[in-house]
Amino acid sequence: MGPLKAPSSSHSWPNQYPPEHQSIIDEWIEDDRRSTFIAGPFDPEQVKAVIGHVRASPVLLVQKLDEHGVVVKNRVVYNASHPRTSKLEPPPPIPSINSQINKADYPCLWMTAVETKHMINSLPPHARVAGWDMAWAFQQLGNAPSQRSLFCMVISGLLYVWLVGIFGLASICGIFGACCDLTCHALELEFPSMLFRHYVDDFVVVELAPPDSPLGLRSWDSILAAVRRFGWVIHPSKHFPWSRRFQYLGIVWDLDSKTATLAESNQNKFRKKLEAAYKDGALLSLKDIASLIGSCQHTCVLALNRRSKLNALYTLRNSYRFQVSNTLLPPSTFPPTPEPR
C-alpha cells in the first residue's frame, strides 16, 4: 500500500465515533468478518507477543444520506491521517501512515462528469451506452500481509486486522484506479469499437459499432462476463444494459434528445444542503464546506453560466488551513438578492 515503515513501537489511538454508533460498528465487524475483509478478534497483548509491534489508528463512521436526510449507507473509515498537525506545529512523535505516502506516486485516469459530458457530445448518432458499479470498491483489493501490522484497529478492547484495501488510506484511490484503468484497457482490446471508462468504481461502456455491423450485435451479458473473468465482483443491482437514456454520475443523459439533467434525488439533496448552510447562524465545518463545493462543482457541469459562488467558497475553504473550528458562511458567498422587476 506504499513505502510504509513497519511500526517501531506499539500504539493504539482512541476511535473517533460517538458511543451511540457502537451498535453500527459491531454490526459492521460481523459483516466484514464474514466477507473476510477483516480478521479477528484477537487479544492485543497476545498479538504483540507473537508478531511484535502493531499500530491501531482510529476508526470513524461516515454516514451517507439520501435527499430526505435518511441514512442509506454507513461507511467505516480508517483514519490513517491521524495524528494530524498543521504546518505551524512540530511533527508528532509517531507520524501518521498517510504522511508517508505521496499521492502523486499513484496516478490513475478517473473520468469526471465534465469529461463524460465531452465524450457523450462527441458520440455518433447510433451509439449505445451501458454501465455497472464494482461491489465493495477498494475492498476488492487485498493488502500485503507484510504491512498488516500497520492496519490494525482496537474496538471494545479487541484487536482486528484489515485484510483488504482501506477507505482512508491515501494510496488506495490510485492503486484501485490503476487496476480499473488496466481493466478498461484490456476490455477495449477484447471488444474493438467500444469505449470503457470509469470514475472510481462506476464504469461506463460505449458501443461505437453501427447496429447493422457484426460488431454491433455484441450482448451486454458478454461484457459482464468479461469483467468477471478479471476477478471483479459487480454490484448485483447497480448496473444497466445498453440504452440511449441512462443515469451516470448523478446525471440523467439522453442521447436522443441530447439533454443532460441533474438527477432528481441529487437536486433535492443539493438544495437541502444549501438551505441548511445558509440558515442564519449555521456553523459549518471544513467537511461541510468541501461538501458544498462538491455539489456546486457537480451542478456547474450543466449550469454553464456558473453563477454559483464557487470562488468565495474556495476562499472560505482555504481559511481552514490552520484551524479546525467551525465558522459561519461569509456574506460574499450568499446568493445575490434578486433585482426588482
Domain limits, the chain: 263-333
Q: Which residue has the cell 513501537?
A: 9
Average pLDDT, the chain: 89
What value does the mean pLDDT take over residues 325-333?
51
For residue 54, give the nearest of 99, 120, 6 by alpha carbon. 6
Q: Which residue has the higher pLDDT, 73 or 78?
A: 78
Task: Return all residues near 104 (Cβ < 8 A) that are at least 6 apart.
Answer: none
Is residue 337's pLDDT more than 80?
Answer: no
Q: C-alpha cell of 270?
A: 443539493
Distance linking the first and last C-alpha atoms of the chain: 60
Q: Measured between alpha carbons, how far is residue 337 from residues 210, 331, 332 in Å?
A: 51, 11, 12
Cell numbers for 334? 450568499
pLDDT per position as a tens digit, 186-233: 999 999 999 999 999 999 999 999 989 989 889 999 999 999 999 999
pLDDT average, residue stretch 169-193: 97
Cβ burial of 105 (10 Å; 0-12, 13-18, 19+) is exposed
Q: Give CA–CA dist 133/119, Å, rounded.
A: 19
Cβ partners under 8 Å of residue 166, min gap 6 = 1, 78, 80, 138, 143, 151, 172
